[in-house]
Amino acid sequence: MGVVLSRFAISKLAGWEISVNAFIEMAKPLSIDPTFFRVFTGIIISTVVIGYLSTAIYSLFKNKANLKIPFTNWAILANLFGLLTMIGALLAEFSLRVQPKWLLVYIAIGVILFSAINIFILNKQKQIQNH
């Protein structure tokens, strides 16, 4: 999920034309500066990407490095933040665009589903660890 979303963070922060045009369209109903809206969204998505990638990297190396960091809480938080961010993306897609971009809708739904599944699995692990 982090790798997929990194493309969207980069496009917003780098000011790719497709992203600039989309945020001009979406900022209009809100009467806000489209550049601020785009960069702010890029920072939020970058934070989600860092959360997802850090949990993935930790998962890969925790046994090899014998790490004792409280992973479960961080992973739940990262997935919850990603889930809520994508809900916001869906709200923006349907309320601020003239016509929603369906590929973006499907990607957001996929991230929401995977995040929800991860949160469910992580909560189960947390319950097992606490017993």
Q: Cα(129)–Cα(41) distance, rounded to whole angstroms?
A: 36
Closest by CA to 114, choosing from 81, 76, 83, is: 83
What is the DSSP code string of 78-129? HHHHHHHHHHHHHHHHHHTSSS--HHHHHHHHHHHHHHHHHHHHHHHHHHHH
pLDDT digits (tens, 9 = 90+) for 79-128: 999 999 999 999 999 999 999 999 999 999 999 999 999 999 999 988 88
pLDDT digits (tens, 9 = 90+) for 27-70: 999 999 999 999 999 999 999 999 999 998 887 877 666 666 67
**Alpha-carbon 65 to chain mean position:** 27
Q: Cα(24)–Cα(97) distance, rounded to whole angstroms?
A: 10
Lookup: tokens for 115: 């995040």
Q: Cα(93)–Cα(107) distance, rounded to whole angstroms?
A: 12
Q: Cα(103)–Cα(39) distance, rounded to whole angstroms?
A: 21
